[in-house]
Structure 1
Amino acid sequence: MHRNMIHNEKPLFIRVFYDRWMKQPNPRFGAVLFLEEVFGPSVCKQTVVTSDDLMSLLTNGWLDMSVITYFTMSLHESMQKLGGNRCAVLNPYEIRGSRCISNMANVMDYLLNVINTHDKDKTFFLAPYYENHHWVLFIIWPHNNTVFVLDSLGLKRKSTNEDNYSIATPIKTILEDIRWIFPKCHQQKEQKGGWECGYYVMRWMHEFIYSQQDDCPQIASIPWDRTDSYEAIDLDNIVALWLSYYWKTCNSWFLVLN
């Protein structure tokens, strides 16, 4: 296991978690069980959050798909308990870029299943999407045939259109006359391959579910209008939220692997 150093500027909660974790002689890792009531029927039933994955999260490293998936499930469950949530979430493993290329039919089936299941009770479908070592957030609005694409490298791309993403093909197959919207959103400081994109996606999901979904009833009121980078504290706060979810659910969602 990598013994990374954590910056003293990190919030106290993160530093305390890190210190306690590092004092364990052999820190454990576990398999996260996917909840069907959150993600719908999935081919992937679980993932493993390793000690290295956790250390990367704590030290501004690259975020593995297991980390993003766990956060997505936790965020959805926390909002459901409060009531009034109009957002469903998609399993990143089921829609990742490599899967869209190698098994598009399964991706289409998964998207249709989840959208049809929540046709009456959900408006937006949040899809954390991974392709070519980069995280992007898709927010699918089926009843309005609209897809928002939040990409922290959007301004750095040579062109901004849906063809940059393999998931666009299965979405086009299940929705007609799609309006693709690439809103102004926070742009990461690093170029492609940097560590920030996964943290941005987690931050965007949290902001949309907790403070923006009710203000997004019409295209004219899309809630993104900034292209500056998130501050370090903004990303640290989302890490602290991940850790708080971990403490609350580690005994019920994790199977400890020896």
Structure 2
Amino acid sequence: MCPEMISETMLYSDINRVLLYMSQSMATLSSKSFILCPYFEKRHWILLVIFLAKSQVYIFDSMQKKRNLMIKNQLNLAFRTYKAQNGKSKGTKLNWIAAQCPQQPGSLECGYYVMRFMYDIFTKHRDSQDLTTDYSRTEPFSFEEINEVKEFWADYFLTNSDVNLAS
């Protein structure tokens, strides 16, 4: 899901648009194993990974602490809407799971950690049936691992951008 569409700021400014976006995204992406949702709240990036088939949301938080995520109620409501639109009333509650994941050493690395989580899930765990078990790493990412994802993103942007950076 687009981080701008599900951000804390959007939730405050146009909650109905966010709910519609989330339920439509679930319907559109229902055949996928996971829906990756980079989420920004209170100056911190977190990755939410929705596993529709099991009605689960994994929370990948590189500064793991007790959080009352603003998006939680809205995502639960969007999930119920998605299920109702598909004629299913059973299992309309999401199970929220705090994933064990690498913890950032400082206070500014959360965005890079979210990008690395997405990269690892997509490349190593895309067929997982249980990210709690399969994604068991807890030590911080190395400088090289963070640089790898930075370079991957920069290469992707430069190759797929419609912007002509030379002009």
Q: Is the TM-score greater than 0.5?
A: yes
Equivalent position amino acid for 1:182 in 2: A
Identity, in percent, stands at 26
Structure with bigger gyration radius: 1
1:59 aligned partner = none
1:127 Cα deviation from its structure 2 partner: 0.3
**How many residue pairs are counted as aligned between the two chains?**
154
State the TM-score, normalizing by the size of structure 2: 0.84
Normalised to the residue count of structure 1, the TM-score between the two structures is 0.56
Asked whether 1:178 is paired with 2:94, we answer yes
| Structure 1 match to 2:35 | 125
* Maintained 8 Å contact 1:172/1:178: yes
Instruction: Read off the aligned partner of 1:170 and give its amino acid letter.
Output: Q
Measure the CA separation in 1 of the matches of 2:26 and 2:137: 30
Letter in 1 for 2:139: D
5 Å-filtered alignment, 1:214-233, equals 214=127, 216-218=128-130, 222-233=133-144
Unaligned runs of 5+ in 1: 1-89
Which one-letter code corresponds to 1:152 in the other structure? S
1:110-169 CA-to-partner distances (Å, cap 9, x unmatched) read: 0111111222x3131100011111100000112211000000011xx2x25xxx211111
Distance 1:222 1:108 in 2: 30
2:53 corresponds to which of 143, 158, 161: 143
Deviation at 1:200, TM superposition (A): 0.3
Q: Does 1:208 align with 2:121?
A: yes
RMSD, matched Cα: 1.9
Partner of 2:20: 109
Paired letter, 1:197? C
Q: Could you tell me whether the CA contact under 8 Å between 1:137 and 1:201 is conserved in 2?
A: yes
Map of 1:196 onto structure 2: 109
Structure 1 equivalent of residue 154 of structure 2: 243
Cα displacement (A) at 1:98: 1.5
SS at match of 2:62: coil
| Counterparts in 2 of 1:222 and 1:108: CA distance versus 1, 3 Å | farther
Aligned-partner residue type, residue 32 of structure 2: K
Runs of 5+ consecutive residues of structure 2 not aligned to the other structure: 80-91
